[in-house]
């Protein structure tokens, strides 16, 4: 049953979750969580520091050996129960997420379903961790290969998908038999605390998951990475922070998964189904108010259809209702904070100063919330900052191109390589362009690629490793090879 806003906030623990206990920060500090639609404080929660991080790591290390020996079926059943609890509580979890993050309730419900699905997917993967046995080519030795959990993990998540970025890491870590410390983003810690409470209810043993909410990321994370007990870092966030964390991991040679930023090209060829392309662009641009690593950042449209595409996309985007995510009928919520709004504003001003035309701009409430109107720009000059920066807002720059080689060159001319979108009805072109794009994922005639059953991740500076799919659990497993001689060895 859906509770009220006040009930939902009141129902969330406000403390750190360490070794199965809810506890205040050692130094008693706390911090406020803001509602981006109103700029008001929702509640205050524990602000963990270095001492709390040390306790959380200690708990994860202490729980590791027993957890690694827990039968895979038991680990899978915990995840399955957690999936069921999430689905049962969709409305409350969605409301909580909307309050702290801003996305419209309908999108928040979609994220709960998506996030819960990672638990179901990895509950099924827990019992399929394989190994193998073979003999060496000369027949003299056996090669036995087994898989073991990598060990205690540090998980760091961003604010834009507060539940899904958590379950996409916790799911495979639990399935693989790893213990973990989760540090969520300070803008959206409540979803992670609610998730921890739910996993506790699903009978996850003490110490397997520890959550340290904090505004002092460096104090919490760096000593843990340098301490020698954490064996794996799984990070989702910006490329700049990812780079810093990679360097911190190098001293103790920690395994890393890095899900970093993107600068997605969205390519519409002259033979594309323009209705489908406009639909796809609206999804790829406007999902999560444009605050997605997969957001279409540069829309390259063949010159023969560029004006028509820009007009049609503009009328779709400008018609969207912007407002508080909790209000009926709202399709676009606020940006996460004042800095995010300022960044988008500056990027649009820069593009317009360099010659871009505003095809249409929607309207947005002018109150304390961090709202930005959906905006389509055309004739965007190649030196505009928004073509080399993640816009992370509801702004679509349309750039006309003339031929396939040119658009591939433009699309690949970036340090990022997370996802690219291609709209064409020509099968040969579709496959050829998909192969030539330097990205980890391609949306071919679709504006949405995320799926728990698919390997999500990027190339170049968009990251290392994949989350989800069959490979998602691999990131949390080591190979162990055992060599033993065959008893009656053939003569060499
Ligand atoms: P961010 O600033 O990099 O922060 C991500 C997380 O890292 C937050 O929890 C943050 O906490 C923490 N962090 C920052 N500095 C740290 C440090 N020195 N040591 C340890 N942790 C630190 O990114 P964001 O603004 O939250 O998220 C947006 C970015 O995430 C975008 O670039 C987006 O593309 C990317 N993203 C990628 C994917 C993907 O799957 N590839 C998915 C979603 C988002 P603090 O805020 O307290 O510093």
> For residue 241, how far is its CA from the centre of ligand 1 (angstroms)?
7
Q: Are 70 and 126 in contact (CB under 8 A)?
A: no
- The response to whether residue 210 sits with its C-beta less than 6 Å from ligand 1 reads no
Q: What is the pLDDT of residue 2?
A: 53
The residue whose CA is least distant from atom 13 of ligand 1 is: 217
Name the H helices within 361-424: 404-412
The tens digit of pLDDT for each residue in 375-396 reads 999 999 999 999 999 999 999 9
Domains, the chain, in order of start with CATH, read 5-260+462-479 (3.40.605.10), 264-444 (3.40.309.10)
Close Cβ partners of 98 (under 8 Å, ≥ 6 residues apart): 104, 105, 108, 325, 326, 333
Query: Please, what is the average pLDDT of the chain?
Result: 97
Any catalytic annotation for residue 259?
yes
Nearby residues of 249 by Cβ (< 8 Å), 6 or more positions away: 225, 233, 256
Tokens standing for residue 141: 């030795």
Is 160 touching ligand 1 by the criterion CB < 6 Å?
Answer: yes
Cβ(218) – ligand 1 distance below 6 Å: yes
Rounded distance from Cα 189 to ligand 1 centre (Å): 13
Question: Which of helix, strand or coil describes residue 183?
Answer: strand
For residue 74, pLDDT over 70 is answered with yes
* Of 34, 291, 293, 390, catalytic: 293
Helix, coil or strand: residue 166: helix
CB 60 within 8 Å of CB 152: yes
Mention every residue, 6+ apart, whose C-beta is less than 8 A from residue 121.
Answer: 171, 452, 453, 468, 472
Active site residue 311: no
Give CA–CA dist 485/141, Å, rounded: 4
Task: Centre a 10 Å sphere on the Cβ of residue 211 and count the other Cβ atoms it contains.
Answer: 28
**Residue 126 — very low, low, confident or very high, per pLDDT cuts 50/70/90?**
very high
Q: How far is CA 68 from CA 11, 74, 314, in A?
A: 32, 11, 53
Say what the pTM is: 0.97
DSSP structural state of residue 216: -
259, 291, 390, 467: the active-site residue? 259
Ligand 1 in contact with 375 (CB < 6 A)? no
| 3: pLDDT strictly greater than 70 | no
Residue 1 confidence (pLDDT)? 45
Parallel, antiparallel, or unpaired for β 255-259 and 232-236? parallel
Task: Say if residue 4's pLDDT is above 90.
Answer: no
**Which ligand 1 atom lies nearest to the CA of residue 293?**
34
Span 224-270, pLDDT tens digits: 999 999 999 999 999 999 999 999 999 999 999 999 999 999 999 99
Q: Is 139 in the pocket of ligand 1 (CB under 6 A)?
A: no
List, in sequence order, the alpha helices (H) in 359-417: 404-412
CA–centroid distance, 160 to ligand 1, in Å, is 9
Q: From the alpha carbon of 221, which atom of ligand 1 is closest? A: 20
pLDDT one-digit tens code per residue, 129-177: 999 999 999 999 999 999 999 999 999 999 999 999 999 999 999 999 9
User: Rounded to an integer, what distance in angstroms lies between the CA atom of residue 306 and that of residue 269?
Assistant: 9
């Amino acid at each position: 049953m859906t509770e009220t806003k006040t009930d939902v906030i009141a129902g969330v623990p406000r403390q750190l979750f360490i070794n199965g206990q809810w506890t205040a920060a050692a130094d008693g500090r706390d911090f406020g969580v803001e509602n981006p639609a109103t700029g008001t404080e929702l509640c205050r929660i524990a602000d963990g520091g270095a001492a709390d991080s040390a306790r959380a790591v200690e708990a994860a290390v202490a729980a590791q050996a027993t957890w690694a020996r827990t039968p895979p079926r038991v680990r899978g059943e915990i995840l399955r129960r957690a999936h069921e609890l999430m689905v049962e509580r969709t409305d409350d979890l969605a409301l909580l997420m909307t309050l702290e993050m801003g996305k419209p309730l309908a999108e928040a419900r979609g994220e709960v379903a998506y996030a819960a699905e990672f638990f179901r997917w990895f509950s099924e993967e827990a019992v399929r961790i394989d190994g193998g046995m073979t003999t060496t080519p000369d027949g003299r030795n056996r090669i036995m290969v087994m898989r073991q959990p990598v060990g205690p993990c540090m998980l760091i998540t961003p604010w834009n998908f507060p539940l899904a970025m958590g379950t996409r890491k916790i799911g495979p870590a639990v399935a693989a038999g790893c213990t973990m410390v989760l540090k969520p983003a300070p803008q959206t810690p409540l979803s992670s605390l609610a998730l921890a409470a739910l996993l506790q209810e699903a009978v996850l043993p003490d110490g397997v998951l520890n959550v340290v909410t904090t505004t002092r990321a460096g104090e919490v994370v760096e000593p843990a990475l340098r301490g020698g007990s954490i064996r794996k870092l799984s990070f989702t966030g910006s490329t700049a922070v990812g780079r810093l964390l990679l360097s911190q991991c190098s001293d103790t040679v920690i395994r890393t998964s890095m899900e970093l930023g993107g600068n997605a090209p969205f390519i519409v060829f002259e033979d594309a189904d323009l209705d489908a392309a406009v639909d796809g662009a609206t999804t790829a641009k406007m999902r999560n108010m444009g605050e997605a690593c997969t957001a279409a950042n540069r829309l390259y449209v063949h010159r023969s259809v560029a004006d028509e595409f820009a007009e049609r996309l503009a009328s779709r985007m400008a018609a969207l209702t912007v407002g508080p995510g909790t209000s009926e009928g709202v399709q676009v919520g606020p940006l996460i904070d004042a800095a995010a709004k300022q960044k988008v504003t500056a990027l649009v001003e820069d593009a317009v100063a360099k010659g871009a035309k505003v095809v249409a701009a929607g309207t947005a409430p002018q109150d304390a919330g961090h709202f930005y109107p959906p905006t389509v720009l055309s004739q965007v000059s190649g030196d505009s900052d928004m073509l080399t920066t993640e816009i992370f807002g509801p702004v679509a720059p349309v750039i006309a191109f003339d031929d396939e080689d040119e658009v591939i060159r433009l699309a690949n001319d970036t340090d990022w390589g997370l996802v690219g979108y291609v709209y064409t009805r020509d099968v040969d072109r579709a496959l050829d362009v998909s192969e030539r794009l330097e990205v980890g994922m391609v949306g071919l005639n679709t504006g949405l690629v995320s799926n728990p059953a698919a390997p999500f991740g990027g190339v170049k500076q968009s990251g290392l490793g994949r989350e989800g799919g069959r490979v998602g659990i691999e990131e949390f497993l080591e190979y162990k090879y055992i060599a033993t001689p065959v008893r009656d060895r053939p003569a060499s």
